[in-house]
Amino acid sequence: MADLLVLSGISKSFNVGTSIETEVLRGIDLVVRNGEFTALMGPSGSGKSTWLNIIGLLDRATAGCLVIDGQATASLSESEVTKLRGHAIGFVFQYHHLISAFTARENVMMPLLVDQGRPTASMERRADDLLDWVGLSWWRNNRAMNMSGGQQQRVAIARALAMNPPLVLADEPTGNLDTGTASDVFDLMERFNREHRTTFLIVTHSHELAGRCSRLVQLVDGRVSQDSPQAAHAST
């Protein structure tokens, strides 16, 4: 398996040079291979979201080196970063971040539209296929605001997969859902990982869901305190 992510000495401080400077990430080294299904756990405030935002190219590290899919990111221009992010990374957040007045189909098409500029029939087909896949065939023309939390998160997962990215970053994707719905949403990510070898990095506070991942990384005080493979996920 090839390396999809290589992090070396990633550090992040906020408010650098001021009296309230805080060092959130303190030299993180991590290699993630293609096809891994990894849980990221850690206490609140330990830097999980900060870390995911840096990997997702939504924020820059203060120090260290991040290589995504063989591409060193430090020297990329803003437009190159935007392009790499759009093609290589899908995002799922705790709050779905859908456009509530748009239909499920329009929301799933959004990354394709951003990439290609105007809607096409093939984009619609791609969105419909993904909505079929997440079990929302009958909801494709419903506005996001009229859907349940679990349905909205399924749409958000379909949207994250629209560009067929090698990497999906999910920041507490089930944190807002009841246990049964959370498990169903997790199933979808697991299934997509198995079928397409898409790499997932999932922040969760649920030990049960983390136990379904092939690897568990724990973050404490901005450092990796534990990193272990897990036998439970026998298929990888």
- The binding site for Mg ion (CB under 5 A) comprises 48-49
Interacting residue with ligand ADP among 46, 152, 153, 174 (CB under 6 A): 46
Residue 218 sits in the site that holds ligand ADP (CB under 6 A)? no
Of 14-22, 136-144, 148-156, 178-186, which part binds ligand ADP (CB under 6 A)? 14-22
Cα distances (Å, whole numbers) of residue 232 to 190, 200, 213: 12, 16, 7
Residue closer to ligand ADP, measured from CB, 44 or 77: 44
The 8-class DSSP code of residue 68 comes to: E
**Beta carbon of residue 191, minimum distance to ligand ADP (angstroms, whole number):** 26
Q: Interface residues for ligand ADP in 79-138 (CB under 6 A)?
A: none
**For tokens 């379904």, what's the residue?**
212
Q: How far is the CB of 50 from Mg ion (least distance, A)?
A: 8
Based on the number of CB atoms within 10 Å of its own CB, is 59 exposed (0-12), middle (13-18) or buried (19 or more)?
middle
DSSP 103: B
Cβ-based neighbours of 52, under 8 Å, separated by 6 or more: 40, 169, 171, 201, 203
Interatomic CA distance for residues 200 and 99, integer angstroms? 24
| Residues whose CB falls within 8 Å of the CB of residue 22, separated by 6 or more in sequence, listed in order | 13, 14, 15
For ligand ADP (CB under 6 A), the number of binding residues is: 12
Q: Taking every pair of C-alpha atoms in the chain, what is the biggest distance, in angstroms?
A: 54
Contact between 32 and 169 (Cβ < 8 Å):
no
Does 45 sit near ligand ADP (CB under 6 A)?
A: yes
47 sits near ligand ADP (criterion: CB under 6 A): yes
Which of Mg ion, ligand ADP, none is residue 45 near (CB under 5 to 8 Å by kind)?
ligand ADP
What part of residues 169-208 is at the interface with ligand ADP (CB under 6 A)?
A: none
**What burial letters (b/e) apply to 156-191, b meaning 16+ CB within 10 Å?**
bbbbbbbbebbbbbbbbbbebbeeebbbbbbebbbe
The only residue of 5, 7, 48, 189 in contact with ligand ADP, by rule CB under 6 A: 48
Q: Which residues pair with 12 in a beta bridge?
A: 25
**25, 11 contact by CB (below 8 A):** yes
From 37-45, 98-106, 111-119, 187-195, give the range in contact with ligand ADP by CB under 6 A.
37-45
Segment interacting with ligand ADP (CB under 6 A) among 2-10, 39-47, 157-165, 184-192: 39-47
Of these, 32, 38, 50, 156, which contacts ligand ADP (CB under 6 A)?
50
Q: Quick one: 23 or 124, whose CB is closer to ligand ADP?
A: 23
- Write out the residues near ligand ADP by the rule CB under 6 A: 14-15, 22, 24, 42, 44-50
